[in-house]
Amino acid sequence: MAGKHVLVLGCGSGPTLVDLVDCGATPVGIDGSPALIDIARERLGPDVDLRVADLADPLPFDDDVFDDVVSSLALHYLEDWTSPLAEMRRVLKPGGRVVLSVEHPFAMWLAARQVGTKTNYFATRSRHESDIAGESVDLTFWDRSLSTMLQSFLAAGFRITHVGEPGP
């Protein structure tokens, strides 16, 4: 990664940014939470470009400027992936890569079924969380099937070279 210019979407408090800096990359972090960007700033110091922005909006960068785009566990908060994926493609240099993770779509469907909620796996559907590990939260996730995710990337003009998943 040394020398790479990498955009981290939904960077949160910055763990991936720290790893990228350690590898010699030049990361840029975007997150919708000013509080998390403040924590990232404390961890990374003044030299890393960190911005508060909504991933649903156009990205504040020129075309063809990043070698890679990384996004860990953030895209599943967005209902519509059309513009965000088009924007990722726009800011990537030709041949650039997207590396991302999302919650496992089938795990979410199974969890809903276990608490008696009937959901259509193939629908893009919202899921509200108000309690995570005893903490009161107000989170809306947008779940969708694996095929919907992959088709979204293909429709945006990406070539998919790897799909991995952890064991259950």
Ligand X SMILES: C[S@@+](CC[C@H](N)C(=O)[O-])C[C@H]1O[C@@H](n2cnc3c(N)ncnc32)[C@H](O)[C@@H]1O
Q: Is 65 in the site for ligand X (CB under 6 A)?
A: no
86-105 residues labelled b (16+ CB within 10 A) or e (exposed): ebbbebbeeebbbebebeeb
Structure tokens at 59: 């990205």
Which residue, judged by CB position, is nearest to ligand X in the bound state? Answer: 12
Tally of CA atoms within 13 A in the half-sphere of 120 that contains its CB: 5
Q: Nearer to ligand X by C-beta: 31 or 143?
A: 31
Closest approach of Cβ 107 to ligand X, in Å?
15
Q: Nearer to ligand X by C-beta: 54 or 64?
A: 54
Quick one: which segment of 11-19, 112-120, 125-133, 140-148 binds ligand X (CB under 6 A)?
11-19
| Site mask for ligand X (CB under 6 A), range 126-165, x = bound | ----------------------------------------
Contact by Cβ (8 Å): 149, 156: no
For residue 96, give the H/E element and its range: strand 92-101
Strand ranges across the sheet with 66-72: 49-52, 26-31, 5-9, 66-72, 92-101
| Site mask for ligand X (CB under 6 A), range 15-44, x = bound | xx--------------xxx--x--------
Place of tokens 């979407």: 9
How many residues sit close enough to ligand X to count as binding (CB under 6 A)?
17
Quick one: which segment of 53-61, 92-100, 124-132, 143-151 binds ligand X (CB under 6 A)?
53-61
Contact by Cβ (8 Å): 105, 75: no
| Residues at the interface with ligand X (CB under 6 A) | 10-12, 15-16, 31-33, 36, 54-56, 72-74, 77-78
